[in-house]
Every structure is written in C-alpha cells, then in structure tokens.
Structure 1
Amino acid sequence: MEIAANSALLVIDVQQGFDEADFWGPRNNPAAEENIAALMDAWQETGRPLVLVQHASRMAGSVLAPDRPGYAFKDFVAERAGRAALHVTKSVNSSFYGTPDLADWLTAQGVGQLVITGIQTNMCVETTARMAGNLGYEVLVPLDATHTFDLAAEPGPDAPRLTADQLATATAVNLQGGGFARIVTTAQLVTAARTAAPAPARA
C-alpha cells in the first residue's frame, strides 16, 4: 500500500451526539474512536493534511444541531483539532457539499488520495467515499475506523432491519465491489504512512 506524501485524512462527524445511545440505538465497532485517533496521530507525525468534517443538522430535535451539546467534536478529536488543515461544516451526507468547499481545497493542495474515516459508516462515510470515487480521487476506507448503528427501513415490527455490522459489511461491498474505494485497516494505513516518505516541510 502506498500512502501519498500529501494524502488527506478525512475525519467525518466524530461528534458527541453520537454517544447518545437512546437516540441512535445499538452501534458496532467499539474500537472506532481508538483507530481514528491512531490515524490522526500518524498523519500529524508524518506531516500529512487532516480534514475535520462536522455535521450541523437542520432536523428538528437532532442531537447534532449546532445549538445542542452533541454538536461538539468528541474529546479526542477536539484535542487534536488544532492540527487540522481544514474544517468543513455540512448539513447533508456528503462532505463535498459543505463550507468551505472540500473539492476546491483538495485541488488547490494538489491532493489526489483520500483516507476516509468517521461516523456513520453507511451514511456520511459511504456517501463521501462514493462521491470522492466519482470525482476521480483514490479513496481508502479503513472500515475499522468507522462505526454505525442498527437501522430499520421504517418503524414497526415488520420493517426491514439490518444490524450495524450488517450495514458495515454492505458498505464495504458497495465501496470496493462498486469500484468507489479500497477497504483497508487502520494498522495497514499507520504502517504505510510511517514507512513512506514524509510530506515536504511547509514554509
């Protein structure tokens, strides 16, 4: 695996509101936060750009609304936020529809490779990865640095339902099987980033 010297790490929607189990229901991958932190540290240590994405929900009662405590980044992200090269705010699933414009910034920086992490696997992570693939970026998704929640098509006992693990598997199949992204692990990325040539020093 080759990690470009200016490979950008996207950390999507790692916000405190996702800790409210009563709102979201059962989640998967309890190691997601630890893995995201490891990637953030590896990118910082090797001088690669970090992009933070924050969801500002417009839905009534959302725990991710800007005026709710849950809008804030989780502590481990907030502690590392000063390292970020860009902070995008969005209100839809794709990080490419936010402010400032992610694609414009990536183009200006000459970035062609993206590593996409965060919450939720099958929502904002998958949507961003699909769009990035369509836009021609090389996309790597460490599935173990994402998590999601059980989901039903609609309320009711007979509604189709998938567990968080099933949704994560579907995302992996959709992204890699569909040619949008390559599914990798945190350990692979950390090792590759630290053994590859570091990014050039910024003036």
Structure 2
Amino acid sequence: MDSRISDLDLPSRPPGLDRAPLHGTAADGVKIVVVGGFGVGKTTLVGAVSEIRPLSTEEVMTQAGAGVDHNSGATGKTTTTVAFDFGRITLNEEMVLYLFGAPGQERFWFLWDKLFAGTLGAVVLVDTRRISDSWYAIDRLEHHGTPFIVACNNFPGSTVDLTAVRDALSLSEDVPLVDCDARDRQSAKRVLLALVNRLYALTSARETTP
C-alpha cells in the first residue's frame, strides 16, 4: 500500500448524486472486505465512507427464515444482506478503493471465500455484546492469509473494553484493535486508516526482510 494515500482523504459524496462518475484516469483498484456477524454494522460502515450511494442487497427478514436466520442480540434488525454491499472511494486520480460488505447470516457464508479473492485486507467488525459471532470471520481470514484489523462498533448500551475483546478473540498483539461508530463518516474513516497503516507496515516489513 502506497504511503502517499495513508491520510485517506475521503472525497465528499455529491449531494443528490447516487453514482459519482469514476475518473477517466483511474488505472488501479484495491479491494477491502468488511466482515463480521449478523447486525454488527457492516452495511452501515460501507455506507458511511462510500463516495457513492452503496449498492446494497439488503432484504426484509420474513417468516420463511425463522429457524434459519438468527437475529438474537440485534434488537430491531429487520433486514439482512443476502449477497454483499458495495461502495467506492477514490483515493487519487489513478487509484480507487472498492469496499465490499460481506453477508453476516450463516447461510450466506459460502460467499465469503469468493469475496476474499483478490482482497488486499479486511476489517472484522465486532459487536461486543456478541463477540463469539466474530470467531468465524477471523478463522476464515487467517485461513486465507488475509491481513485484517478488528473494529468494535459502539452500540447503545454496549461497553468496549479493548483488552477484554483482544483476549476473547485471542488476537495477537500485532493485530490492530480499534473502536468506532460505524454510522459516523470520520469514525469509519479511522477504521480504514488503521487497516491501511497495517497493510503498509506489513509491506514495509517484507521489503526489509533479507
């Protein structure tokens, strides 16, 4: 990851424009995936930072999904992502970041391996009230060797103790762990910055290793 984009100066989303045109000079694209359990805020985070209105595949949860879909702990959640969310950030005139939000319901996990293909890095979004929902995401990322960071989404009534979260997820000390408000653009931006810095550090370490 080029250090020149480490500041991640997010462009503003043009008012009333759902699909801002891509620069004709855009030549390179990088892909980041946001994963985690159901209802942790993946769709919200993608929407907060995307310069375009995100492509979303959220559908209303119906009685047909009873016993299959699980929304315990996600009070008031009535929709679920059935494919993925997609957003875009223009980093500079030549480089574009594509942001994919993975579905959280277990029956759609088979899509994850496909989404991970070609991914530069990932954000694991965590609801501290349901930490165990994040174990599978971390397991799959480690299986694929995909660099990632962990972000704890601050929900009303939740308590974020980063040390406790690190212990609960058995995260090594080199994996960045941050807290955030997925609804807030600047907070979501800081999450992506943490991942960019992580990727840059890993790249620098590889380049200096004999």
TM-score by length of 1: 0.45
TM-score by length of 2: 0.44
Higher helix proportion = 1
Higher RCO (Cα < 8 Å, 6 or more apart): 1
